[in-house]
Chains A and B, each alone.
Chain A
Amino acid sequence: MKKILLGNEAIVQGALESGVQYVSAYPGTPSSEIGIVFGKIAQKHGIYFEFAVNEKTAMESAIGSSYSGLKTLVSMKNFGLNVALDAFLPFVYTGAKGATVIVVADDPSCHSSGQSEENSRGFADLAHVPILEPQDAQEAKDFTILAFKLSEKYSVPVILRTTTRVAHQRMPVEIGIINIENKKGEFVKNKNKFVTMPPRVLEMKGELLKKLETMKKDSEKLALISRGKGKLGIITSGVANLHVTEVLRKNNLNIPVLKIGMFNPLPEKKILSFVSDMKEVLIAEELEGFIEKKVKEIAGCKLKIYGKDLLPEIGELSNEKIALALGKLVKKKLFVKRTEKDLKIPLRYPRLCQGCPYWIVFSAIKKMAPEGTIFGGDIGCYMLAGFAPHEIQDYLLSMGSSIGVGHGINKAGGQKVIALIGDSTFFHAGIPALINSVYNKSDLLIFVLDNRITAMTGHQPNPGMGLTGTGESAKEIKIEDIAKACGAENVKTVDPVNMQELQDAIRDFINKKGTSVIVSRRICAYYERKLKKNI
């Protein structure tokens, strides 16, 4: 039986069919639906699910589960893996006990990402971690199942790397049988396996490198050749393969294609045999030319290799981009960019929802902040502070850095900084930066925009609002209590609809010495409407 699934739903289905027992996540587009779906269905299937405080704690939670022998999945967006990296790298060394799949979602073209156009495939050489790259929703499911199998076979965590066009693609997906063994995990003490103290850690590295070497044969099996004619070939992976196939079919081109399913380790033998009777090959991969570099390494200098000289390193690929590049090699016009009149329709930027409490907060901050105040931005809906009519965002970097960087700016030159940060982001990475600001004595005003939910990624619970990821009641951790406990000199909580109180608090705190925290607490208007509709 087939059912239309979103790529992320297909990953959930694959995990269920693999018998997943433990799932942790931190939301981030384009990975968020994985956690959202598990939050809804986990209890029904007897699976443990949590939204963790950040990706590092999500990763650590998953590692604990894996060490206890459970089948485990952890999901995050690309930047999340950066946060989790400190725990992730040694985890790959120790290996997984219970099969473990790490879903990492990249966002070429940055449709829903500030920060950077991160290509998580780059972690392959750093972490020596196996990476699978599905092209569509069906493969998202199949590769999830395969990732669990490989993880079990080699006792190593496996990354399933998706991109926006895979995670947010719908197609009919074959549905299989869900078979989950409900059992308790058990951590069996084994220093040799779980303690990375030297000199053992170096042996572990050796064992890992050996596993990767052996896994090459699995990579070979997953590399598929579509036969064709001629001395020109295409090597591709992920969703780019679908664009390539589209262009070839449309233009009746019979060019051989090698589709790589496992990015790390690469199927070197198959690549070699594929290019052995080629004169030239086009590497069609998104973002940085990692495969291209490897092919150049192994193929020898007789082969003419095209890649990033014909396809952009910035932005996702498309049928048009593939057609343009391929057209140059087959010397035919496969795509003609039509000269279109620029109609000069001004861009429509996203905006705060109707009734969003941030409308009031932004206007109060703008009104009360003295001339020359620096406004620190952070990751959440309040990034819209950067757009008109607000225009209060002078830097934007990564989760929690409104506070951390604001501290640095204040220390460096004494300028006044107001750092804006949301509730989930504060819990995620704001707290160490807050302590640093107190400890190292900067004069900083931190504005925590507590809207009672992780709003931007589709309303996930967080530690500040009294619910867990599966909707059970939980201890509500108060941000003002944390601020006080961290030693912030001035702390005040306001409901922003009390505009006078809000403005007075800003006026009062802006010139105070030390670290000041205003918690503006009012529920996200969109979430409130959702609650009322009960959806």
Chain B
Amino acid sequence: MDKNFNIVIAGVGGQGVITLVQLIAEAAFAEGYDVKTSELHGLSQRGGSVETHVRFGKKVWSPLISEGEADLIISLELAETLRKLRYANKNTKFVINGYFFPYPEGLSEEEITGIIGREIKQEKRIVPASKVCQEKLEKEVVSTSYLLGYCVSNELIPLKKESVLKAMENLFPEKYLELNKKAFELVWEN
């Protein structure tokens, strides 16, 4: 990997964005990469828009990804995807959780999916992660682990499955570990 790999992760406060950041950072570090991440904490995270950055490669300087330089944009919620387009270039890939979380004065799900269809010309995958996890594991909350599994199995993130599993073992307390591993590995089962 010649250049750093840049991931912007968007979502709504409470969806587990920061856990996802930690998982990717730990997995990349386990593979010998330099890593930097940036995140925000505090009141804005209570149900507001959340944006985090993860970068890994030979040597990472700034913790922030420049506009137009994301390799991958992961959005845990449909509408939040549309706030991150400035980070995309023509080769950027989008992985979007097909989950809609309405808010006061927001647009409707149809309007949002319409705009995503029209405006994002790049390779994009809308993955029903929340739905799948609810149906198969009865827990919507592990959809972030499912999405990460989706990205790794489809080679959208240049990291090995084993590295992520190892990161999960380091990060999750025992009682949440099995469920998250299951969610992460669901994609390979299908």
Contact = CB atoms under 8 A, between A and B. Distances in A.
Interface residues of A, number: 50
B38 A341 contact: no
Interface in B56-75: 60-64, 66-68
A29 B43 CA distance: 9
Interface in A71-119: 111-112
Contact of A4 (B26, B68, B105): B26
Contacts of B38: 165, 168-169
Contacts of B13: 350
A2 B61 CA distance: 17
A53 interface: no
A352 B46 contact: yes
Nearest to A338: B68
B44 interface: yes
A352 B43 CA distance: 10
Contact of B64 (A30, A243, A352, A381): A243
B46 A350 contact: yes
B183 interface: no
A191 to B, nearest CB: 44
B156 interface: no
A349 B103 CA distance: 8
B62 A246 contact: yes
Contact of A112 (B29, B41, B47, B119): B41
A112 B42 contact: yes
B58 to A, nearest CB: 11
Contacts of A29: 41-43
A251 to B, nearest CB: 11
B105 A346 contact: yes
Interface in A428-472: 456-458
Contact of A381 (B22, B29, B43, B104): B43
Contact of B42 (A30, A246, A347, A388): A30
A348 B46 contact: no
B79 A348 contact: yes
B79 A345 contact: yes
Contact of B103 (A318, A351, A535): A351
Interface centre among B47, B60, B103, B105 (most CB of A within 10 A): B47
A350 B45 contact: yes
B153 interface: no
A347 B47 CA distance: 12
B106 interface: yes
A522 B21 CA distance: 33
A242 B107 contact: no
B36 A169 contact: yes
Given A348-B12, A381-B46, A171 B36 contact: yes
Given A171-B35, A242-B63, A30 B115 contact: no
A230 interface: no
A353 B62 contact: no
A243 B62 contact: yes
A323 B43 CA distance: 31
A4 B34 CA distance: 10
A280 interface: no
A169 B62 CA distance: 10
Interface in A364-383: 381, 383
Contacts of A388: 104-105
Contacts of A381: 43, 46
Given A243-B62, A345-B83, A346-B107, A458 B21 contact: no
Contacts of B1: none
Given A172-B29, A243-B62, 13 more contacts: A112-B42, A171-B35, A335-B66, A337-B67, A338-B67, A343-B82, A345-B79, A346-B107, A348-B106, A350-B43, A350-B45, A351-B104, A535-B173
9 contacts: A4-B26, A4-B29, A170-B39, A242-B61, A335-B66, A350-B45, A351-B103, A353-B46, A381-B43
Q: Which 6 A-B pairs have the closest CB atoms?
A: A112-B42, A350-B48, A29-B42, A246-B62, A170-B37, A246-B61
Interface of B: 12-14, 21-22, 25-26, 29, 34-49, 60-64, 66-68, 79-80, 82-83, 85-86, 103-107, 112, 115, 119, 173
